[in-house]
């Protein structure tokens, strides 16, 4: 069974700092990997989707990479802002199932 791990569980950084969030998965036979953010009491907002054949995706200050063979993905956030404070979740699709990590709670301090 696919297992998805996110490290660290929580992260606190000063505004303006660049940061990296990590996601690892045990089964490399994935269709895609998606990064989400979740604000308290709200649903998930899609940030980036990487297909299994791709190495990275970029959107604004966000860049996500995928190394399927090693079972790893990173989400890079440049020039962090207080509005980036949220929980960041990664999810992989294996077969018909989606597996989520438990998330990284990010706090950006003004």
Partner 1 sequence: EAGVAQSPRYKIIEKRQSVAFWCNPISGHATLYWYQQILGQGPKLLIQFQNNGVVDDSQLPKDRFSAERLKGVDSTLKIQPAKLEDSAVYLCASSLEATSNEQFFGPGTRLTVL
> Which residues of the shown chain bind partner 1 in the complex (CB under 8 A)?
4, 31-32, 34, 36, 41-46, 49, 51, 89, 91, 93, 95-103
- How far apart are the C-alpha atoms of 13 and 107, rounded to whole Å? 6
Strand 4-7, strand 56-59: pairing:
unpaired
Q: Which residue, 4 or 66, has its beta carbon nearer to partner 1? A: 4
Separation between Cα atoms, residue 49 and residue 60, nearest integer Å: 14
Specify the residue, 72 or 93, whose C-beta has the smaller distance to partner 1: 93
Measured from the CB atom, is 35 or 77 closer to partner 1?
A: 35
Instruction: Work out how close the CB of 49 gets to partner 1 at its nearest, in angstroms, rounded to a whole number.
Output: 5
Sign for the pseudo-dihedral over CA of 64, 74, 19, 48? positive
Minimum Å gap between C-beta 110 and partner 1 is 26
Minimum distance, C-beta of residue 103 to partner 1, in the bound complex (Å): 6
For residue 1, give the nearest of 25, 22, 23, 24 by alpha carbon: 25
């Amino acid at each position: 069974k696919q297992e998805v791990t996110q490290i660290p569980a929580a992260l606190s950084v000063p505004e303006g700092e660049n940061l990296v969030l990590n996601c690892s998965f045990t089964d490399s036979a994935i269709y895609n990997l998606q990064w989400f953010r979740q604000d308290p009491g709200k649903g998930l907002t899609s940030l980036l989707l990487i297909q299994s054949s791709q190495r990275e995706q970029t959107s604004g200050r966000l860049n996500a990479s995928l190394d399927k063979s090693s079972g790893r993905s990173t989400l890079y956030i440049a020039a962090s802002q207080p509005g980036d404070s949220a929980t960041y979740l990664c999810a992989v699709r294996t077969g018909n199932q989606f597996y989520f990590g438990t998330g990284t709670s990010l706090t950006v301090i003004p």
